[in-house]
Amino acid sequence: MTADALHTIRIEGLFRTITPTHISDVATNLRYEPSTGRVSRGSRSGFPVTGQRTLTYRMPDGEGEDLGYIQVPILPANGLRGRLRRAGAAEVEDALVARGLNLTWQAYQAMHCGAVTGTPDGSAPPLDEVRAIRNHLFMGLFGGGNRMTPSRLRVSTALPVLQGLIDLGAIPDAYADEAIPTTQWRRLMETLPIVRRDDLAQHLDPRAEDIVADYDSVMHEQFLLDTARRAARVRAASPSITDEMVTDDPPRGLRALSAIQVITPGTPFYVRFDARCTEAQAGLLVHALLRILRQENTGLGGKSAIGYGRFTHALTLSLDGETVDPFPGQFEGTRLQLKSTLMVRLADAFERELELIDPVVLDALVMAKRATEEEQALPQSTRRKPKSTSGGA
């Protein structure tokens, strides 16, 4: 069997949120009404809500009622794929740095973002270039470069394990034991109000007068500004009201209230990663996913600084029909299952090709050009670090 023989790999299973998880949907126009706790779309009352990414599904009749259309939170495929890509890039970069080598900015950009610039080269590549890129450890798995070569990896949008989605065929029947009743779809998300405090305006710090220079004048100026802003808001809501009617009414601080939609902790999501690739590329996929599962710096989505996005995992790996449990442990304790000969084989193939990664060849593949014979002939231990090529488009 040759080193570049292709194999079918699938990694699938569950991510279960254990803390609030948020993937922003910037297109939503949601408002939160604190008196009722309700979230509405397009209203001018209440306070702004940063929405969670969702998908709308038409549910089949079942479970005793016709639910019609429902909205469920998702972990978008492009977000999962982007994290995998950057984790895979980190694997390659760590190996290069350990050998005293570095990358051009174009190679770095292609590895992290896919494209080199905002205007990729749309011309058709020659066959030998396509083969070289597809057999490359990193570029073959993740794709990209100046010609935006397709990758061998497919990532699915992660869906909550809801009975209705199993009935639709969006999630395999094998996960039915984890299924949440479709009638509970509204409980997959909750809205958390956020109060942004203003220590000065609210006089929360008794030491502020001794710490802040020109405290009296600063506070008076802040009071005038807040009063003017409130007058403008009231006047916009009711043009008949004048400044004199509101300037003596001090600001109440409600402008600091906002809200965020999050995925409810404890929600299981079905995740799936597929590729038709070499064993070394499958090993890179495994190592990149391992970095994400360890959650050493961040979990899923945003606000990791306050603990959002933490999750547990239960995954299986299948290569050409042979299935193993690839990742025992949780969080920083997650590791590779090296009791499996399959996992050892993938890890060894990955390590062998990782040692052969050549920054000059990588830059040439990214920029759709050939490395010169003189460049390729130089030993990597003595080769100059690659210079950034100009242009990039």
Tens of pLDDT, residues 292-350: 999 988 899 999 999 999 999 999 999 999 999 999 999 999 999 999 999 999 999 99
Average pLDDT, the chain: 84
Burial of 13 (0-12, 13-18, 19+ CB in 10 A): buried
Look at residue 373 and tell me whether its pLDDT is greater than 60: no
Q: What are phi and psi of 211, to 5 degrees?
A: -100, -40
Confidence of residue 123 (pLDDT cuts 50, 70, 90): confident
pTM, rounded to two decimals: 0.81
pLDDT of amino acid 248: 45
d(CA 73, CA 56): 9
For residue 47, name the pLDDT band (cuts at 50, 70, 90): confident
How high is the pLDDT of residue 222?
75
Helices (H), the chain: 77-98, 105-113, 127-134, 137-142, 163-168, 208-211, 215-237, 279-294, 341-354, 359-366, 373-377
